[in-house]
Amino acid sequence: MPNEIKGLNEECGLFGIWGADNAAQLTYDGLHSLQHRGQEGAGIVSNENGQFHRQRGLGLLAEVFADPQKIATLPGTAAIGHVRYATAGNHGIKNIQPMFFDHPGEGQFALAHNGNLTNATQLRRDLTKKGVQFQATSDSELLGELIQTSSQTNFIDQLKASLNQLRGGFAYLLMTPQMMVAALDPNGFRPLVVGKLANGAMIVCSETCALDQVGATFVRDVEPGEIIIVTDKGMQIDHFTTDTHLSICSMEYIYFARPDSVIRGISVHEARKRMGAAIAKEAPVKADVVIGVPNSSLSAAIGYAQASGIHYDMGMIKNQYVARTFIEPTQAKRVRGVSMKLSVVKSVVAGKDIVLVDDSIVRGTTSSYIVRLLKRAGAKSVHVRIASPVLKFPCYYGIDIQTTKELIGANHSVPEICQLIGADSLAYLSVNGLVESIGALNDQPNHGLCTAYFDGQYPTPLYDYQAGFDADVARLGLYEGAN
Ligand code: SF4
């Protein structure tokens, strides 16, 4: 299911390069393969011998750069770029990144952010008291303001001191005239990788699929608490804290990341196949054919079919050419968008008992529409298998669901959801099944994963969000119902 329709959205995608003649073009190409991480806006800043040039706008990357001359206005051998989906702040142009800041030592720096800070309200309040006037409304600007008001004397020390004041999920790319710097939060919620071109140019980006896109080789993952500094002399690895605890967002494996990406050595496609195989074992059902909801559920559907021995077929197709008006982030447009985007292949489903594999159910409106579509096409029965656990808890680390009100799984039992979506049966993967399927880092607690969406076990304090979360738990008795 495309992110923009399901209503479960990643905040952003990052791509930066240092040391390439066509830096802006390569940044455009890299960002293109990260478009799934944000469709509301895009921007690129290039660095021409210390002078910055920027283009940014609302919409898809190809819309922002529809005029081919725009890339030509971004000369220089280094660039950073960003694709955005707003989880914090409004949707205006001022929030489109990269953002610019003045700096007494460096002259200027540019900044791009993926994630969500859990102490943004407090920091904004503190900075406002110090007289800071914010350019925009998103929490991405906070790091820039903290650097500007830091009492440290050089850029890297200012950056380190500022990063240590942030809480929550954050991956940053910054660029000064002299360097590109990447930073990852102490839990490493979001993927961030380093790559290299054959000519020696260094790249930092959100997913390995962007490295493949520009012909770069993978060098390493950015580790929690690290800062990576790239200059004309090469790459230097430093850190702003050693108090780290890896908690990669499990939704990256389930849904957000592209299937051709590899996160911390694990192929996203293979992890999804294992999730499909695991739910086939946990909740078997007799059926004639397995189909997946395109596109993000297809890997899990293949895994389900392989493990169950039930034939896999292409029961649904996705129309790639739906006008942008249907992918605006409102519920009414999402529902209309689903009907424009998805169609059933009648010859595959008519008269058959179907296993429908999907990666997740957020609000339930999409699932109920799909079940109806399949039944209208003549399916005898539709057994829905979700290749992830029930979404019960909000995310405060960079996904746009920040209240349980929106989550059908927080407000209804599995039998109720089954009835609401009109399925003949419904089962979800267990949290253990998920963790084992991803099989991330065996030496770390919870395999180095964040599974808070499913079990409410947040890897960090929630700061600004704690009171709202406590109210949700009290209202819904969430912990009793968590498993
Ligand atoms: S709460 Fe969920 S979506 Fe948010 S970081 Fe954790 S696993 Fe990912």
Query: Does residue 202 lie in a domain region?
Result: yes
Same structural domain, 292 and 409: yes
Query: Does residue 181 lie in a domain region?
Result: yes
Ligand 1 atom closest to Cα of residue 189 = 5
Same structural domain, 293 and 396: yes
Same structural domain, 154 and 66: yes
Same structural domain, 87 and 236: yes
Same structural domain, 380 and 277: yes
Same structural domain, 36 and 119: yes
**Domain end point (choices 183, 211, 245):** 245
Query: Does residue 211 lie in a domain region?
Result: yes
Same structural domain, 203 and 273: no
Side by side, the strands of the sheet bearing 381-386 are 289-292, 353-358, 381-386, 425-428
Pocket-testing residue among 250, 391, 460, ligand 1, by greatest number of atoms within 8 A of Cβ? 250
478: which residues sit within 8 A by CB, 6+ positions away?
392, 393, 404, 410, 456, 472
Q: Which residues are catalytic?
A: 12
Judging by DSSP bridges, how do beta strands 107-117 and 168-175 pair with one another? antiparallel
Taking alpha carbons only, the member of 15, 16, 14, 18 closest to residue 230 is 18
Distance between Cα 376 and ligand 1 center (Å): 35
Distance between Cα 326 and ligand 1 center (Å): 26
- Residues of the chain short of pLDDT 50, as ranges, are 1-5, 325-327, 480-483
Ligand 1 atom closest to Cα of residue 169 = 5
Q: In this structure, which residue's CA is closest to atom 8 in ligand 1?
A: 249
Tell me, what's the pLDDT at 10?
A: 58
Query: Does residue 131 lie in a domain region?
Result: yes
Ligand 1 atom closest to Cα of residue 394 = 1
Q: Which domain holds residue 341?
A: 269-438
**Domain end point (choices 197, 212, 245):** 245
Same structural domain, 217 and 306: no
pLDDT in tens, 87-122: 555 567 888 899 999 999 999 999 999 988 999 999
Distance between Cα 148 and ligand 1 center (Å): 31
Q: What percent of the chain has pLDDT over 70?
A: 92
Taking alpha carbons only, the member of 258, 190, 179 closest to residue 223 is 190
Q: Which residues are annotated as a binding site for Mg(2+)?
A: 296, 358-359
Q: Which residues are annotated as a binding site?
A: 296, 358-359
Cα torsion 437, 442, 446, 449: sign: negative
**Domain end point (choices 245, 279, 303):** 245
Ligand 1 atom closest to Cα of residue 453 = 2
pLDDT in tens, 341-398: 899 999 999 999 999 999 999 989 889 999 999 999 999 999 999 999 999 998 888 8
Residue type, 246: L
Query: Does residue 423 lie in a domain region?
Result: yes
Q: What is the number of domains present in the chain?
A: 2
CATH code at position 405: 3.40.50.2020
Distance between Cα 54 and ligand 1 center (Å): 32
Taking alpha carbons only, the member of 229, 231, 239, 264 closest to residue 250 is 264
CATH code at position 236: 3.60.20.10
Interhelix angle 120-129/141-149, rounded to 10 degrees, is 40
Same structural domain, 237 and 273: no
What is the CB-side half-sphere exposure of residue 168 using CA atoms within 13 A?
29
Tell me, what's the pLDDT at 320?
A: 76
| Residue 7 to residues 49, 161, 328, 361, 364, Cα–Cα distance (Å) | 42, 35, 10, 10, 10
Query: Does residue 469 lie in a domain region?
Result: no
Same structural domain, 160 and 277: no
Same structural domain, 203 and 316: no
Ligand 1 atom closest to Cα of residue 398 = 4
Rounded to the nearest angstrom, the gap between the alpha carbon of residue 371 and the centroid of all alpha carbons in its chain is 27
Pocket-testing residue among 395, 429, 462, ligand 1, by greatest number of atoms within 8 A of Cβ? 395
Straight-line distance from the first to the last Cα atom of the chain, in angstroms, rounded to the nearest whole number: 26
Q: Which residues line ligand 1 (CB under 6 A)?
A: 189, 249-251, 395, 397, 399, 450-453
110 φ, ψ (degrees, to nearest 5): -115, 150
Pocket-testing residue among 189, 393, 401, ligand 1, by greatest number of atoms within 8 A of Cβ? 189
Same structural domain, 241 and 282: no
Query: Does residue 20 lie in a domain region?
Result: yes
Distance between Cα 190 and ligand 1 center (Å): 9
Contact between 295 and 318 under an 8 Å Cβ cutoff? The reply is yes
Tell me, what's the pLDDT at 327?
A: 44
Query: Does residue 183 lie in a domain region?
Result: yes
Task: In whole angstroms, give the CA distance from residue 180 to residue 182.
Answer: 7
Distance between Cα 399 and ligand 1 center (Å): 7
Task: In whole angstroms, give the CA distance from residue 141 to residue 449.
Answer: 27
